[in-house]
Structure 1
Amino acid sequence: MKIAIGNDHAGPEYKKAILEMLSAKGYQVTNYGTDTTDSVDYPDFAHLVATDVATAKVDFGILICGSGNGISMAANKHQNVRAGLCWIKEIAVLARQHNDANIVSIPARFTSIPQAVEIVEAFLSTDFEGGRHQNRVHKIACS
Structure 2
Amino acid sequence: MTISIGNDHAGVDYKSAVLKHLESKGYVVKNHGTNTLDSVDYPDFVHPVANDVEQNKVDFGIIICGSGNGANMTANKHQGVRSALCWNKEIVTLARQHNNANILSIPARFTALSQVLDMVDAFLETPFEGGRHQARINKIPMSC
| TM-score interval (norm. to shorter) | over 0.9
Residue 5 of structure 2 is matched in structure 1 by 5
Residue 93 of structure 1 is matched in structure 2 by 93
What are the within-5 Å matches in structure 2 for residues 57-136 of structure 1?
Answer: 57-136=57-136
**Separation in structure 2 between the aligned mates of residue 7 and residue 46 of structure 1, nearest angstrom:** 7
For 1:39, what is the secondary structure of its paired residue? coil
CA displacement at 1:120 relative to structure 2 = 0.6
For 1:13, what is the secondary structure of its paired residue? helix
RMSD: 0.6
What TM-score, normalized by structure 1, do the two folds share? 0.98
Runs (4 or more) in structure 1 with deviation over 3 Å come to none
CA displacement at 1:142 relative to structure 2 = 1.4
**Separation in structure 1 between the aligned mates of residue 118 and residue 16 of structure 2, nearest angstrom:** 14
Residue 23 of structure 2 is matched in structure 1 by 23
For 1:34, what is the secondary structure of its paired residue? coil
**Separation in structure 1 between the aligned mates of residue 48 and residue 122 of structure 2, nearest angstrom:** 23
Unaligned runs of 5+ in 2: none
CA displacement at 1:141 relative to structure 2 = 1.2
